[in-house]
Amino acid sequence: MSSSSPAPLAPPRVEGVAVDKGLKSGALGLVSSIVLGVSSTAPAYALAATLGFVVIAVGVKAPAIMLLAFVPMWLIAVAYSELNKREPDCGTTFTWAARAFGPRTGWMGGWGIIAADVIVMANLAQVAGSYGYQLVGLDSLATSTFWTTLGGVAWIAVMTWICYRGIEPTARVQNVLLGVEVVVLVAFAAYALVKVYAGTAPEGALTPSLSWLWPSGLSWPSLTEAVLLAIFIYWGWDSAVAVNEETDNPTRSPGRAALISTVLLVGIYTVVSVATVAFAGVGTGGIGLGNEANAEDVFNALGTTVFGDGVFGRVFEALLIISVLTSSAACTQTTILPTARGSLSMAAYGALPRPFARIHPRYLTPTVSTIWMGAVSIAFYVGLTIVSENVLQDSIVATGMLIAFYYGLTGFACAWEFRRSLRGPRDVVMRFVLPLLGGLFMLAVFVLACIEYADPEYGETVVHGVGGVFVIGVGALLLGVLLMMAWNAVAPAFFRGQTMRRGTGDLLLEPDAPTVALPDSHEATVIAPDRSNLPPGREAFDPRA
């Protein structure tokens, strides 16, 4: 487009003000945000599937690994909190990295979130499908690939529909699911510890020791493997920040929720890991967690023994199954939320096709973004299941590389963004030092993951002599580069800095607007979310109003 009288340049970004994309503001409070942050990590599922393998790697030091992995997660949560205060944008890493390092880096940060979430959805759906059958006594279907896949697809479809219907129904569902999960985990830990100290635990049980909380005496390979596993089970708390534009205090509540979520998680993981290791022991016999068969699902292996055969015990054993089911189901739902909102933000700035920015006129949720997230997750899950169960398993492990990539990018973006505006000791520590340390830690995790996962002995698949986990992780990032290049060729405005510029945060977003006079004399068509279908009373966005 051209204009004989160009519109004035959009004003600089206002501290703490986000671009209104049409989402329902004020729908969530601090508690709801914390619930979303904790449930997005799926504590019961994560512990069931991961704790045993951490024990195999480091033995009784598993609780120490939970504490160690918490440190970088808290550091990155600080970065999220500080960046969110400056710009509470639902694009999170995409938006902040684009501001700090440029559009291509930001695009890859957004892609890292999308890729990790789509991949993990496959595993969450598989667990939800399998446990759903176990809950109703259909164990034969739970072991069937076809029926498990069918059940998993149904779970994705249901959770996509709930997310489509609005953020408030989603929050209400999460309150119930997380409540069941936490109660059962606390009961499991309490039962196990009572039996250990009462001397009624099975042979091989151990008395907890404070030395379990310090990672001394571990070999470097064992420590690396265990930390990589533990990093994965903390992932997901950033969902609390992805719904920042829908909270009642966008600049503060999401960041606080992220920090509180990580603290709650380290408490849950440490207590449950101490109780589990003490009750089962680390041997390879019986119910020992050194047995790989037990490690694949520690709660399924220990549930009956911990709770006993009585009526009360059978009730709690059923609740344990329910907790893993609800954990994976809840995480399926809260995985859709940040991905849909991330792609909404990317589309709002022209980094994805404009339809991804559409908002439902009644529910005020992303429509195209939510549906596409569900559809792509189903296609990926079914496709990998058809190809190979081994490829599916390796793809889940590969998400660790993507997590380290975009978490680390966020830490570096925070330090870089605030480097010239540090106004005191508090800013130096919270906005520069801690986020930088978090970014460096995640960079180290990424490098170690590349080395570990490239080993052909690691994982279930090998591609031309290279570990399949590495190939999938790096391949996902390379796919993002190719997609970015393709979209750059189709719609280059975002990549030229015409819809979001670095540093100043100028926002050039207005439907059907004239061209904007940029400092270098180039002209750009202003891009905005499609707000034509919003209900009356929702004002069209104009950053210069």
Band (pLDDT 50/70/90 cuts) for residue 542 is very low
Task: Tell the burial category of 140 from Cβ atoms under 10 Å away from its Cβ (0-12, 13-18, 19+).
Answer: exposed
Q: What is the mean pLDDT of residues 39-59?
A: 88
What is the pTM (predicted TM-score) of this model? 0.85
Let me know if residue 144 belongs to a domain: yes
Q: What pLDDT score was predicted for residue 539?
A: 36
Residue 149's alpha-carbon distances to 126, 128, 146, 214, in angstroms, are 6, 10, 5, 41
Rounded to an integer, the average pLDDT of 21-43 is 87
pLDDT tens digits for range 488-537: 999 998 998 888 766 643 334 333 333 223 333 223 233 333 444 443 33
Residue 400: how many other CB atoms lie within 10 Å: 23
Q: What does the pLDDT read at residue 430?
A: 95
Amino acid at position 251, single letter: T
Question: Lowest-pLDDT range, 239-243, 317-321, 421-425, 439-443?
Answer: 317-321
Exposure string over 256-273, b if 16+ CB within 10 A, otherwise e: bbbbbbbebbbebbbbbb
| CA dist 475 → 116, 385, 394, 526 (Å) | 12, 18, 13, 33
CB 149, CB 381: distance < 8 Å: yes
Residue 521: per-residue pLDDT: 28
- 125 touches 118 (CB < 8 A): no
> pLDDT confidence of 410, banded at 50, 70, 90?
very high
Instruction: Name the token pair of 14.
Output: 């206002």
Pick the range with the lowest mean pLDDT from 31-35, 43-47, 392-396.
392-396
Residue 15 lies in a domain: no
Poorest-pLDDT segment among 47-56, 283-292, 442-451: 283-292
Does residue 173 have a pLDDT over 80? Answer: no
Residue 102 included in any domain: yes
Specify the pLDDT at position 484.
Answer: 96
Are the C-beta atoms of residues 360 and 74 closer than 8 Å to each other?
A: no
The total domain count for the chain is 1
**Is position 218 within any domain?**
yes
pLDDT of residue 176: 81
- Establish if 485 belongs to a structural domain: no
Highest mean pLDDT among 41-50, 93-102, 493-502, 510-519: 93-102
Q: How far is Cα 376 from Cα 358, in angstroms, rounded to an integer?
A: 18
- Identify which has the larger pLDDT, 175 or 484: 484
pLDDT confidence band for 15 (50 / 70 / 90): low
Sign of CA dihedral 36, 377, 444, 266: positive
Of the chain, the percentage scoring pLDDT greater than 70 comes to: 88
* Length of the chain counted residue by residue: 545
Note down the domain range covering 250.
30-450
Q: What is the tens place of the pLDDT at every residue in 315-363?
A: 877 788 788 877 777 777 778 888 999 999 999 889 999 999 999 888 8
Highest mean pLDDT among 82-91, 131-140, 173-182: 82-91
Note whether residue 504 is domain-resident.
Answer: no
Identify the residue with better confidence: 204 or 533. Answer: 204
CATH label of the domain that carries residue 314: 1.20.1740.10
CB contact at 8 A, 82 and 256: no
| pLDDT tens per residue across span 59-86 | 999 999 999 999 999 999 999 999 999 8
When the pLDDT of each residue in the chain is averaged and rounded to a whole number, the result is 83
